[in-house]
Amino acid sequence: DESAGASVREGRVTTTDGRAVEVAANVGRPVEVDPAVERGADGIGLYRTEFLFLDRDAPPDEAEQMAAYRSALAAFPEGRVVCRTLDVGGDKPIPYLDLPESENPFLGERGIRRSLGPDADLFETQLRALLRAGAESGDDGGGEDADDETGAALGDLAVMLPMVSRIEEVESVLAVLESVASDLDSAGVPYAMPEFGVMVETPAAATLAGDLAERVDFLSIGTNDLTQYVMAASRGDERVAALHDPLYPAVLRTIRQTTRAADGTDCWVGMCGEMAGDPALTELLIGLGLDELSASVVTVPDVKARVSETDSEAARALAERALAAETVAEVREIVGIE
């Protein structure tokens, strides 16, 4: 079993022909941060901030959130930590938020839709905490008055929005970000504007990827939800589990549509769905044009190993063949998996 074998690699990896591919980790709880470091992740490509809000009676305040984000940043002084804003609704209920019963929660009020609606206050608090957590991070630091008691170097903070399907959502969030920043300015509170990105996990976002890329620093493809929505097959429904496979041609072509839309722009494109953590798919994903792969913590070393064995040109040729395939069986054969 190759998928458990690779040894931990320190530092960044490139393909054999020198193309840098960032390999980050998906983290859902603070206890996973240290293992992500130990396994050689370049950073956190998806920090699911839901953990802060689960299993309690009231939401965390700004200070508690700031401390949580800072400790992740401190674990990756040379890396980037992508904090995804609260993604509730769908399969992720939170008792005190009074989420409405929905006949079809996955098509309901979830992710950014709640953050710009009933959870607007929580969203603003979270953004304040994120902007403050990023103060003194990265290369722009050096001030004495950071309230980071440790004084340790911090990585770069990025903020990412879940479940985006409209340009209007991005415009609204940019306005909220500006207003939060101007409040912090007026109050003389140190903060930093984070890198800003959106998840591509709805077909709408993939279709609009070029327009999104003009407005954000990065896109990160969430294949768990993207597959569910492209294939119209529920994530959790066993009866359609076979359809929930990102190797279906329709999903692969949607991924390529996304990376192509950002080609030639400054917007980088990552992937943080489970697909990114499968070492058997690393070459294909490089060929599809991904700049960053955020894998589950355990597979980070294997994905890094695969990156460093991959030739970009061969990967591109492999991806072209996979994109031309009409069935999932053909794709599997081309990629060389069972």
**Site residues, Mg ion (CB under 5 A):** 201, 222, 225
Spatial neighbors of 133 by CB under 8 A, at least 6 apart, are: 65, 66, 69, 70, 73, 157
Give the total residue count for the chain.
338
User: Which residue in the set 27, 36, 44, 46 belongs to the binding site for ligand PEP (CB under 6 A)?
Assistant: 46
Distance CA 144, CA 153 (A): 12
Q: Is 201 annotated as a binding residue?
A: yes
User: Which residue in the set 15, 21, 48, 328 belongs to the binding site for ligand PEP (CB under 6 A)?
Assistant: 48
Residue 267 annotated among the catalytic residues of the structure: no
Based on its alpha-carbon atoms, the radius of gyration of the chain, rounded to whole angstroms, reads: 19
The item of Mg ion, ligand PEP, none sharing an interface with residue 273, based on CB under 5 to 8 Å by kind, is ligand PEP
In whole angstroms, the minimum distance from the beta carbon of 223 to ligand PEP comes to 5
Q: Is 70 annotated as a binding residue?
A: no
Amino acid at 66: M
273 makes contact with ligand PEP (CB under 6 A): yes
Spatial neighbors of 254 by CB under 8 A, at least 6 apart, are: 203, 206, 226, 230
Total interface residues for ligand PEP by CB under 6 A: 10
270 makes contact with ligand PEP (CB under 6 A): no
Q: Is 225 annotated as a binding residue?
A: yes
Are β-strands 80-84 and 44-48 bridged in parallel, bridged antiparallel, or unpaired? parallel
Amino acid at 26: N
Q: Is 147 annotated as a binding residue?
A: no
* Segment contacting ligand PEP by CB under 6 A, of 60-68, 113-121, 216-224, 299-307: 216-224
In whole angstroms, the minimum distance from the beta carbon of 92 to Mg ion comes to 9
Distance CA 247, CA 244 (A): 9
Q: Are 33 and 48 contacting, i.e. CB atoms less than 8 angstroms apart?
A: no
User: Which residue in the set 3, 71, 172, 224 belongs to the binding site for ligand PEP (CB under 6 A)?
Assistant: 224
Distance CA 315, CA 310 (A): 7
110 makes contact with ligand PEP (CB under 6 A): no
Q: Is 84 annotated as a binding residue?
A: yes
The item of Mg ion, ligand PEP, none sharing an interface with residue 46, based on CB under 5 to 8 Å by kind, is ligand PEP
CB atoms within 10 A of CB 179: 12
The contact set with ligand PEP (CB under 6 A) reads 46, 48, 87, 201, 222-225, 272-273
Residues with a known catalytic role: 272
Binding-site positions for Mg(2+) read 201, 225
